[in-house]
Amino acid sequence: MPACSGKQFIERINRKRREIWYGKDRITTNAAEHPAFRGIARTMAALYDMQLEEENLEFMTYISPKTGERVGTSFLQPRTSEDLIKRRRMIKKWADFSAGMLGRTPDYLNSALMAMASASDFFGNGMSERIVKYYEYVRENDLLLTHTLINPQVNRSVGPSKQVDPFIAARVAEKKSEGVVVRGARMLATFPLADEILVFPSTVVRSGQDDIPYAFAFAIPVDTPGLKMICRESFSEDSSFDHPLASRFDEQDAVVIFDDVLVPWERIFILEDPERANAVSESTDAIVFMAHQSTVRELAKVEFFLGLACLMAESIGADQFPQVQERISEIIIMRETMKAFLDASEANARINKWGILVPDYTPLNAARNLWPRISPSLCSIIRQLGASGLMAIPPEDILASEATKYVEKYYQSKMQDGVERIRLFKLAWDAVGSSFGGRQELYERFFFGDPVRMASALYNWYDKEPYKKLARELMKGK
Shortest approach of ligand FAD to residue 438 CB, angstroms?
A: 10
- Collapsing DSSP states into helix, strand and coil, what is residue 71? strand
- Nearer Cβ to ligand FAD, position 190 or 375? 190
Shortest approach of ligand FAD to residue 86 CB, angstroms?
A: 26
Applying CB under 6 A, the residues found at the interface with ligand FAD are 146-150, 153, 156, 188-190, 253, 439, 442-443, 446, 449-450, 452-453
- Nearer Cβ to ligand FAD, position 71 or 169? 169
- Nearer Cβ to ligand FAD, position 162 or 453? 453
DSSP code at position 206: P
Q: What's the CA gap between 123 and 232, in Å, rounded?
A: 35
Q: What's the CA gap between 341 and 364, in Å, rounded?
A: 6
Q: Please, which residues bridge with residue 350 across strands?
A: 358
- Nearer Cβ to ligand FAD, position 100 or 386? 100
Shortest approach of ligand FAD to residue 204 CB, angstroms?
A: 6
- Nearer Cβ to ligand FAD, position 106 or 394? 106
Shortest approach of ligand FAD to residue 281 CB, angstroms?
A: 12
Shortest approach of ligand FAD to residue 224 CB, angstroms?
A: 17
- Nearer Cβ to ligand FAD, position 180 or 189? 189
- Nearer Cβ to ligand FAD, position 195 or 253? 253
Shortest approach of ligand FAD to residue 385 CB, angstroms?
A: 25
Shortest approach of ligand FAD to residue 328 CB, angstroms?
A: 27
